Amino acid sequence: MNGFSLRIAVSILGLALVGAGVTPREIWRFDFEDGAVPEGKGLTYGKGVEVTVVPRKDIEGGCLQLAATKPIVFAQLNLDMPVTIEKNLILAFDHREEIPDGFQGAYLGMIFNKDGKQAFWHSDRISADWRHVELPLATLKPQFGVEMEKGLVLNRIQLYARSKDKKANGDSPCELKVWFDNVRLYVGNPDQSALAGPPYTCHNNPPLFDWHGKMDPGQRLQYSQDPSFPTDQTTVVTITSPRPFYIPEKPLKPGIWYFRREISSELFEGWGNIQKLTIPERTHSYRPPTLDMAAIIAKPHPRLLARHRPDGKPLSESERATQIRRAQSYLKLGVPEHPGPYVKDDPRWPNWIDWYGKVADKTTARYGTHLERTAKAAMVTQDKATIEAAKTLLLAACEWDPKGGSAARYGDLQAASLLKGMIWSYDACEAQLSPEEKERVLAILKERILQFYTRIRPFRINPAQNHPWKKNTIVAESALALLGVIPEAEEWLDVSLQNFTYRILPSMGFDGENQEGISYWAYGVGMLANYADLMLLVADTNLYDHPWLAQTCRFPMYLAPPSAYAIS
């Protein structure tokens, strides 16, 4: 029995054990055993590759080889066959890659298209050794405005190996090779030997177990140091909260842990794929306070005013006049037409960096700043014309396509600035919005928030880097303003808090240190302090007792020895 046949047996056995009510069946598969490149069967290939079937060395049989005929960025296999989403639908395949010396592989990507446009994306790591992927399509994250649902039709699946950029946002073509084997779509249970998503390290103990997708109270979570989950070495927890995370009651033994969750939904029945995390020997042991959602909801709008003016001190007449005048100047500037995302060979932007500076920074982010400043002026002055200005600019911002060039995928820092301005404007003028206007604004805000939320849940991005901090903070800031308005806001806020306290702060160190010097310390800690201030001033939740955050104010002192020329 070869490896492919064994996996079929394992999948069917797993279905019999767990996935009751689902009849296993294979929809299509390509195992390349006949030695011929499939023709006219729905497989097509990207440009710049020579396609052949070659022997596979680790097990008997053939595999599909895509070898670059010239330096390319992507080596791509297209599955041009309609796929209708149903319960326990699994995409499975084997892959391996070779990257020339002097280059690196970025990832093995999977794009799922609906009506010719990208609807979902997933990835696996590049590997010189064969790797097996088992992907329940129900677990795909809705990052592009399309919800995964039963009956949804995907018209194309693209599998591609990508080279890693050597410079920021610059392609690095190379003569890469990728091999595929046992490409199949089936109904059943995924092979539990295939880990899902990137492993992560949690520098807090007890750790954060988190996942994508809804988990209903009463469903189970398993965690063990053995990926086969033997009964005598596995902890089984019955989930009591609808939140997409779990924190063990006690610290766990340092080392490598595996966890998986039970899924019972319209789209999937059984154990989800196994997740892997590492707990180092030395960790934090911090637990955040519990959020009082009802108390936050009871606070009137503008709710974020407490973050802007924590002392509540009234403005002087001259200060008030300045604020009103500034808001009117932003209103006169109006809303520019958004040029859209970067498109190669657009004469307006010879290079991506030109678009980034002139559009992402000087259009998307700048307009967000105008919105934010106008909203703050409306809050502190309570001037009717200024509140109306905030409303006018907010409604104008809603005319920008949230999937277009101002979307998070094209510039996350700038999209966060825009969303921040829109959230503050909503908080400032929500009482002046008509029911129809409010419905329109909230729909746009929710779509933009989800562009960030789907990136931080589960938290598999670098916890020590400022882009994830910005994503996490804008989700929290939005949730604080929208609690009691959008039901999901409670989950958004709670997830951001767990990310901040279990993943972000612990990754920074133990004594307030920083690895990037005083300039980046000031820039980055400003983001972290903004989150802590939001929680303290709006949510009445003090996070400044976290050991790293409590001590990092002393960091500049370590960089200023006696008689030094400067802090450096």
Q: Which CATH architecture has domain 293-558?
A: Alpha/alpha barrel (1.50)
Query: Residue 10: beta bridge partners?
Result: none
Among 164, 171, 178, 177, which residue's Cα sits nearest to residue 102? 164
Please tell me the predicted confidence (pLDDT) of residue 272.
85
Per-residue tens of pLDDT for the chain, all 568 residues: 344 443 444 444 444 444 556 789 999 999 999 999 988 889 999 999 999 999 998 888 999 999 999 999 999 999 999 999 999 999 999 999 999 999 999 999 999 999 999 999 999 999 999 999 999 999 898 888 899 999 999 999 999 999 988 765 567 899 999 999 999 999 998 877 666 667 899 999 999 999 988 778 889 999 999 999 999 999 999 999 999 999 999 999 999 999 999 988 889 998 888 999 999 999 999 999 999 999 999 999 999 999 999 999 999 999 999 999 999 999 999 989 999 999 988 999 999 999 999 999 999 999 999 999 999 999 999 999 999 999 999 999 999 999 999 999 999 999 999 999 999 999 999 999 999 999 999 999 999 999 999 999 999 999 999 999 999 999 999 999 999 999 999 999 999 999 999 999 999 999 999 888 888 898 889 999 999 999 999 999 999 999 999 999 989 888 887 777 666 6
Please tell me the predicted confidence (pLDDT) of residue 483.
99
Contact of 504 with 463, CB cutoff 8 Å:
yes
Q: Which backbone phi and psi does 33 adopt, to 5 degrees?
A: -75, -20
- Measured CA to CA, the distance from residue 376 to residue 424 in angstroms comes to 7
- Measured CA to CA, the distance from residue 252 to residue 209 in angstroms comes to 12
- Measured CA to CA, the distance from residue 143 to residue 120 in angstroms comes to 6
- Measured CA to CA, the distance from residue 550 to residue 532 in angstroms comes to 11
- Measured CA to CA, the distance from residue 533 to residue 537 in angstroms comes to 6
How many other β-carbons are positioned within 10 Å of the β-carbon of residue 545?
Answer: 10
Chain centre distance of CA 513: 27
Q: What is the pTM of this model?
A: 0.85
DSSP annotation string for 492-540:
HHHHHHHIIIIIIHHHT-SSS--SSHHHHHHHHHHHHHHHHHHHHHTS-
Does the CA dihedral 32-33-36-39 come out positive or negative? negative
Q: Which residues contact 352 (CB under 8 A, 6 or more apart)?
A: 169, 170, 342
CA distances from 138 to 126, 148, 283, 421 (A): 23, 7, 34, 34
- Measured CA to CA, the distance from residue 258 to residue 253 in angstroms comes to 12
| E strand intervals along 173-311 | 177-187, 200-201, 209-210, 220-224, 234-238, 245-246, 255-264, 269-271, 275-279
Please tell me the predicted confidence (pLDDT) of residue 289.
97
How many other β-carbons are positioned within 10 Å of the β-carbon of residue 351?
Answer: 12
Please tell me the predicted confidence (pLDDT) of residue 249.
96
Please tell me the predicted confidence (pLDDT) of residue 16.
42
409: three-class secondary structure by DSSP: helix
- Measured CA to CA, the distance from residue 553 to residue 131 in angstroms comes to 45
Please tell me the predicted confidence (pLDDT) of residue 170.
63
Please tell me the predicted confidence (pLDDT) of residue 7.
44
Write the CATH number of the domain with boundaries 3-187.
Answer: 2.60.120.260
- Measured CA to CA, the distance from residue 471 to residue 415 in angstroms comes to 10
DSSP annotation string for 300-355:
PSSTTHHHH-TT-PPPPHHHHHHHHHHHHHHHHH--PPP--S--TT-TT-SSHHHH
Contact of 388 with 414, CB cutoff 8 Å:
no
- Preceding omega of 302 cis (within 30 degrees of 0): yes
Where along the chain do the CATH 2.60.120.260 domains lie? Answer: 3-187
Please tell me the predicted confidence (pLDDT) of residue 556.
87
- For residue 159 the two structure tokens come to 């599998």
Query: Residue 401: beta bridge partners?
Result: none
Q: Which residues contact 201 (CB under 8 A, 6 or more apart)?
A: 277, 278, 279, 280
- Measured CA to CA, the distance from residue 542 to residue 438 in angstroms comes to 32
- Measured CA to CA, the distance from residue 502 to residue 74 in angstroms comes to 36
Contact of 92 with 134, CB cutoff 8 Å:
yes
Where along the chain do the CATH 2.60.40.10 domains lie? Answer: 200-279
- Measured CA to CA, the distance from residue 268 to residue 271 in angstroms comes to 9
CATH of 200-279, one of 2.102.10.10, 2.40.440.10, 3.40.50.12280, 2.60.40.10: 2.60.40.10
Please tell me the predicted confidence (pLDDT) of residue 10.
40
Among 430, 476, 424, 485, which residue's Cα sits nearest to residue 449? 476
Q: What angle do CA 528, 533, 537 make, to 5 degrees?
A: 160
Where along the chain do the CATH 1.50.10.100 domains lie? Answer: 293-558
Please tell me the predicted confidence (pLDDT) of residue 557.
84
Among 130, 155, 162, which residue's Cα sits nearest to residue 64? 130
